[in-house]
Each structure stands twice: as C-alpha cells, then as structure tokens.
Amino acid sequence: MRTFFDLLQTHVQAKEFEVRQIIAEGDDVVPIGRMVSEVKKTGRDIDTAFALHTTVRDGRITRYHLYEDSYAVAEAYFGD
C-alpha cells in the first residue's frame, strides 16, 4: 500500500475528498463519497464519485478496491 500511495502522489494532487456515507460490517468498510484530484501531467481535474471497499484483518489492509469513474480518469489523463 505504501508503494501504491507513493506512486499515486507522483501523478495526482488531491484537491477535495468528501465521505458522504460509511457502510461497515465485520472487517469490511465501504466509504462512499466524492473526490477531486488534479493530474499533474495535464493540469486537468478528475472529479468523480467513489466507493472504496476495504477489508482490515489483524490491523492490516487485506482488500483495497476503489470504484470510480474510469472514463473521467482517462479524460483527465488523455482527453483532448
């Protein structure tokens, strides 16, 4: 996870992050919200709703599945 977040920071700059709802059951937690990040290479923003399914066992993250608008991400990186 540390490597993932280190690499992510080389490509995007977080601008806004809002959690609107948290669903939790057992070891699973799903925050739902909206985030805005700037792609450093293009200067364009990624503005997307998200859901992040995480599982934590024995103090370690064992699942990290981020659901976001992949089209918005691609547009910010490669759009005209």
**How many whole angstroms separate alpha carbon 38 and alpha carbon 52?**
19
Nearest CA among 79, 29, 78 for reference residue 51: 29
Q: What is the pTM of this model?
A: 0.83
**pLDDT at residue 80 is higher than 80:** no
**How many whole angstroms separate alpha carbon 1 and alpha carbon 62?**
10
- The per-residue pLDDT for range 13-55, each reduced to its tens digit, is 999 999 999 999 999 999 999 999 999 999 999 999 999 999 9
**How many whole angstroms separate alpha carbon 21 and alpha carbon 57?**
22
What is the model's pLDDT at position 40? Answer: 95
**pLDDT at residue 1 is higher than 80:** no
